[in-house]
Amino acid sequence: MTQAGIYIHIPFCRSRCSYCDFATGAFDEKRAARYVAALVREIDEFPRHQSFIENLSPVDTIYFGGGTPSLLGANQIAEVLNALKRKFEVDAKSEITLEINPGTVDINKAKAFVDTGITRASFGAQTFNDAHLKQLGRAHDACEITRTFDVLREAGFANINFDLIAGLPAQTLEDWQSNLRQALALKPEHLSLYLLEVHPATPLAAQLQQHRFTLPDEDTTAAMYRSLVDEMTRAGYEHYEISNFCLPEFQSRHNSKYWTGAPVYGFGCAAHSFDGKYHRWANTREVLRYIEVMENGESALDEVTNLSDENLRDERIFLGLRLMRGITWRDYQSCFTNDLRDTHADDLARLTEAGLIEISDERLKLTSVGALLSNEVFASLVY
């Protein structure tokens, strides 16, 4: 049976960043305690409201995301882990990730997280440029990034992901490269790139509308991406997914669940789930509503989507192609009756000719140029 991942959403932050549209709010101890109790109840009662689930898959990855999950106490994280272990068959060698923001842990708290069984930290650094950190409304400065990273190492974290954002307001290629050098100097096992997205109704969107600054143009962001791939590869990292790099053996096992179509069970407000077959479902986004429905013994479900074969096929293509190893024809044919080489022969020929994909007898994958222009490839191959 395919092993599943579990995602736990923790919707609390020290303050709200100017670009953020995630389901998160200000940390408050009393509300956090009610939220953890609600999470435990949702896990205990799962899958009471998902009647389409026949059997729960065994689990080998757990991911605490947010928000800023490191604002919770280690005892609260342990409570949730214990509930998961009561409900699921959790592999003893599971990858258990906690998102940690700079300045939110000291050495004692970091050690306590390690003691609860957290095996991986995902570190939300974003940029080393203090002016950018301030503009983004981040609750830390560049010194705090290095300080907290050192604390994580001292506490025993041997697997750390480092998040960096590119395409920041008025960011130059030189500034980006300086960020990258500083991140690499810390020798994280994994690095994830995010391109800044401007969401409507965020303070950042309003500032852009008022022409207070401009974003780098497409050529500059493309140059940032190319220099990232070059630098990371030179430093010995594997470029294994469009936006993700790792030292050998340090791929994110949890994120790979999404790219390979494995089941992922999500708990908490705004958590999304997939049964690995025909159903996706999502919980209500509102923290307080989530707490109240759980306290009343009701369902937190906001929507359930039944996927058609076409939906699944499209997902297999655009998620599978995110991995630089691509998708094998064998895997594809084991899931679907039609053959992409028949249904999209012209598209495949055109994309190959344009240097965006590579096709062999075994698999279909993006080239490095295709990784940069992946949306063009996906738009051609999904219905």
Residues 6+ apart with CB under 8 A from 222: 372
Q: Is 68 an interacting residue with respect to ligand SF4 (CB under 6 A)?
A: yes
Instruction: State yes or no: residue 70 binds ligand SF4 (CB under 6 A).
Output: no
Number of chain residues interacting with ligand SF4 (CB under 6 A): 11
Our CB check for ligand SF4 shows the closer of 90 and 191 to be: 191
Q: How far apart are CA 52 and CA 59, in angstroms?
A: 19
The stretch among 18-26, 299-307, 312-320, 355-363 that binds ligand SF4 (CB under 6 A) is 18-26
Q: Rounded to an integer, what distance in angstroms lies between the CA atom of residue 340 and that of residue 316?
A: 12
- Choose between 104 and 251: whose C-beta lies nearer to ligand SF4: 104
Dist. CA 56–CA 41, nearest whole Å: 17
User: Is residue 122 a contact point for ligand SF4 (CB under 6 A)?
Assistant: no
67 binds ligand SF4 (CB under 6 A): yes
Question: Is residue 318 close enough to count as binding ligand SF4 by CB under 6 A?
Answer: no
Q: How far is the CB of 10 from ligand SF4 (least distance, A)?
A: 9
CB-based contacts of 234, cutoff 8 Å, min separation 6? none
| Nearest distance in Å: CB 197, ligand SF4 | 11
Query: Could you say whether residue 24 binds ligand SF4 (CB under 6 A)?
Result: yes
Point out which residues pair with 161 in neighbouring strands: 122, 190
* Rounded alpha-carbon distances, angstroms, from residue 275 to 50, 272, 281: 10, 10, 9
287-295 and 29-45 are packed helices; what angle lies between their axes, rounded to 10 degrees?
A: 50
Amino acid at 206: A
Q: Does 194 engage in binding with ligand SF4 (CB under 6 A)?
A: no
Q: Which of residues 4, 6, 10, 20 is near ligand SF4 by CB under 6 A?
A: 20
Which of 4, 6, 10, 13 lies at the binding interface for ligand SF4 (CB under 6 A)?
13
Categorise residue 6: left if φ over 0, alpha if ψ from -120 to 50, beta otherwise.
beta
| Three-state DSSP state, 12 | strand
C-alpha dist (Å) from residue 172 to 117, 156, 176, 216:
40, 35, 6, 7
State the nearest-atom distance from the C-beta of 22 to ligand SF4, in Å.
4
| Pairwise CA distance, residues 64 & 80, whole Å | 10
- CB of 44: closest distance to ligand SF4 in angstroms? 27
Task: State in Å, rounded, how far the first CA of the chain is from the last one.
Answer: 30
Q: Is 17 in the site for ligand SF4 (CB under 6 A)?
A: yes
Quote the tokens at residue 256: 């790979």
DSSP classification of residue 71: G
Cβ 136 to ligand SF4, closest distance in Å? Answer: 8
Q: Is 66 in the site for ligand SF4 (CB under 6 A)?
A: yes
Which residue lies nearer to ligand SF4 by CB, 204 or 232?
Answer: 204
12-20, 144-152, 259-267, 374-382 -> range binding ligand SF4 (CB under 6 A): 12-20
Q: Which stretch binds ligand SF4 (CB under 6 A): 10-18, 214-222, 231-239, 272-280?
A: 10-18
Note if the bond before 67 is cis, omega within 30 degrees: yes
> What are phi and psi for residue 251, nearest 5 degrees?
-60, 150
Stretch that binds ligand SF4, among 62-70, 271-279, 305-313, 333-341 (CB under 6 A): 62-70
Let me know: does 162 contact 123? Beta carbons within 8 Å. Answer: yes
Residue closer to ligand SF4 (CB basis): 16 or 363: 16
Of residues 13 and 84, the one with the C-beta less far from ligand SF4: 13
Question: Which CB, 20 or 125, lies closer to ligand SF4?
Answer: 20
230 vs 183, 239, 294, CA distance in Å?
Answer: 15, 10, 48
101-120 residues near ligand SF4, rule: CB under 6 A: 101
Binding site for ligand SF4 (CB under 6 A): 13, 16-17, 20, 22, 24, 66-68, 101, 124
